[in-house]
């Protein structure tokens, strides 16, 4: 029987391994800053857990890449973080950040397991998934204990099970507009929270970047995030449902650079990609027409913002290329 570990990496496996490596390199830089500045003794173990997990992943991936004679990505190094910079974010925000990143990591690991063929790759991503679940569980419990966890809204239990009887269930602009479903509430709430975390991160990045173009890019991102928070919050408020708070006050007044512009630009671009995915999922789970149209109208705005960010990274040679398919036309023409 053929040893699966000797099988070449598929394009899908290259994609998920490459992305995991880059993301873990970012995590080491950001979480190392949190660890050096943390004062809350309850939050410190959470930060250590996240940092150790990313470091283990990097070691495993380095070994795998070398075994496959696959070029090890550059990613980010200690040169991308200023260890002596003052604190930029509060301990509570660090805790929220870790929870948010663990939530993003769970579906990403699930997809990786689903597309992987080799046993060693599957085993690796099962470990990554387990670590993300553990971190999410630990951070959630601590946030609940410290009274900083913001729960989604409560609604009354339904009286009975019913089927949709009228097309008005899909209406959302005129006529008899039904209340939000629990799925729609969940998506709106989640999109407010993710934009709030992104906005706080962008504020910190904007304060500390010394590159004028990058700073202006972050300021634009802050405005977009606030606009989207307002849009989603207004929908909930019209239904007499509470909207989650923002995290703007979690950023200190420090203007000393902590992270390189390269790292900050990549981090925000990764969060934008996650946001676009969230909006797509939200559209599919929101049958009310006004909600679908709202998500559809917001996606092009952040997609254009992402493209402008990519152009800045390309201009400054900050954008590392993922593995690409063979250029057959180039190979054919090559003498």
Band of pLDDT at residue 167, cut at 50, 70 and 90: confident
Q: Is the pLDDT of residue 4 over 70?
A: no
Q: How many CB atoms neighbour CB 67 within 10 A?
A: 10
CB 183 within 8 A of CB 285: yes
Q: What is the mean pLDDT of residues 307-327?
A: 92
More confident residue, 6 or 78: 78
Which CB contacts under 8 angstroms, 24+ apart, belong to 66-72?
68/8, 68/9, 70/9, 70/14, 72/21
Band of pLDDT at residue 210, cut at 50, 70 and 90: very high
Using CA atoms, how far apart are residues 121 and 17, in angstroms rounded to an integer? Answer: 8
Q: Is the pLDDT of residue 59 over 90?
A: yes
pLDDT of residue 1: 46
Q: Is the pLDDT of residue 3 over 70?
A: no
Angle at Cα 45 formed by Cα 41 and Cα 48, nearest 5°? Answer: 130
What is the per-residue pLDDT across 116-155, written as a single tens digit (0 to 9) for each? 999 999 999 999 999 999 999 999 999 999 999 989 999 9
Indicate where the chain has its CATH 1.20.1260.10 domain(s). 9-146, 180-315
Q: What is the mean pLDDT of residues 284-302?
A: 93
What is the per-residue pLDDT across 82-121, written as a single tens digit (0 to 9) for each? 989 999 999 999 999 999 999 999 999 999 999 999 999 9
Distance of alpha carbon 154 from the chain centroid:
26
Lowest mean pLDDT among 64-73, 82-91, 171-180: 171-180
Q: What is the mean pLDDT of residues 162-175?
A: 77
pLDDT of residue 195: 95
Which single residue is written with the structure tokens 């060693």?
Answer: 120
Indicate if the alpha-carbon torsion angle 129, 49, 143, 223 is positive or negative: negative
What is the per-residue pLDDT across 19-48, written as a single tens digit (0 to 9) for each? 999 999 999 999 999 999 999 999 999 999
Band of pLDDT at residue 171, cut at 50, 70 and 90: confident
What is the per-residue pLDDT across 231-259, written as a single tens digit (0 to 9) for each? 999 999 999 999 888 888 899 999 999 99
Residues in contact with 64: Cβ distance below 8 Å, sequence separation at least 6, in sequence order? 17, 70, 120, 121, 124
**Which runs of consecutive H residues, i.e. helices, occur in the chain?**
11-37, 44-67, 91-115, 119-146, 182-208, 212-238, 261-284, 289-315, 328-333
Helix (H, G, I), strand (E, B) or coil at 276: helix
Q: Is the pLDDT of residue 207 over 70?
A: yes
Q: Identify the burial level of 1 via C-beta atoms within 10 angstroms of its C-beta, where 0-12 means exposed, 13-18 middle and 19 or more buried.
A: exposed
pLDDT of residue 169: 79
Q: Is the pLDDT of residue 186 over 70?
A: yes
Q: What is the mean pLDDT of residues 306-335?
A: 88
Q: Is the pLDDT of residue 198 over 80?
A: yes
**CATH number, span 9-146:** 1.20.1260.10
Using CA atoms, how far apart are residues 274 and 282, in angstroms rounded to an integer? Answer: 12
Distance of alpha carbon 158 from the chain centroid:
33
Helix (H, G, I), strand (E, B) or coil at 71: coil
Q: Looking at the domain covering 180-315, what would its CATH class be?
A: mainly alpha
Q: Is the pLDDT of residue 2 over 60?
A: no
Distance set, CA 34 to CA 14, 39, 50, 195 (Å)? 30, 10, 11, 21
pLDDT of residue 314: 97
């Amino acid at each position: 029987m053929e040893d699966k570990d000797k099988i070449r990496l598929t394009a899908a496996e290259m994609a998920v391994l490459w992305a995991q490596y880059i993301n873990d390199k970012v995590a080491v830089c950001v979480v190392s800053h949190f660890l050096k500045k943390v004062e809350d003794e309850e939050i410190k173990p959470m930060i250590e857990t996240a940092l150790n997990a990313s470091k283990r992943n990097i070691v495993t991936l380095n070994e795998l890449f070398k075994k496959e004679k696959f070029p090890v990505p550059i990613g980010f190094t200690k040169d991308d973080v200023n260890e002596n910079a003052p604190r930029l974010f509060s301990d509570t925000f660090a805790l929220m950040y870790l929870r948010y990143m663990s939530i993003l990591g769970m579906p990403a690991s699930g997809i990786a397991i689903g597309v992987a063929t080799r046993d060693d790759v599957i085993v690796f991503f099962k470990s990554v998934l387990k670590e993300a679940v553990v971190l999410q569980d630990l951070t959630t419990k601590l946030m609940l204990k410290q009274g900083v966890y913001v729960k989604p809204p409560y609604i009354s239990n339904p009286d009975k099970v019913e089927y949709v009887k009228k097309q008005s269930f899909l209406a959302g602009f005129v006529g008899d507009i039904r209340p939000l479903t629990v799925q729609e509430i969940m998506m709106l709430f989640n999109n407010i929270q993710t934009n709030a975390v992104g906005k706080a991160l962008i504020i910190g990045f904007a304060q500390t970047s010394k590159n004028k173009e990058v700073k202006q890019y972050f300021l634009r991102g802050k405005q977009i995030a606030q606009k989207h928070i307002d849009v989603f919050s207004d929908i909930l408020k019209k239904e007499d449902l509470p909207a989650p708070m923002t995290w703007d006050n979690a950023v200190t007044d420090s203007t000393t650079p902590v992270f390189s512009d390269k790292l900050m630009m990549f981090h925000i671009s990764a969060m934008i990609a996650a946001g676009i995915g969230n909006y797509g999922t939200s559209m599919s789970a929101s049958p009310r027409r006004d909600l679908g149209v709202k998500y559809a109208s917001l996606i092009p705005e952040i997609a254009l913002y992402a493209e402008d960010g990519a152009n800045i990274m390309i201009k400054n040679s900050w954008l590392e290329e993922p593995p690409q398919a063979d250029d057959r036309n180039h190979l054919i023409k090559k003498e």
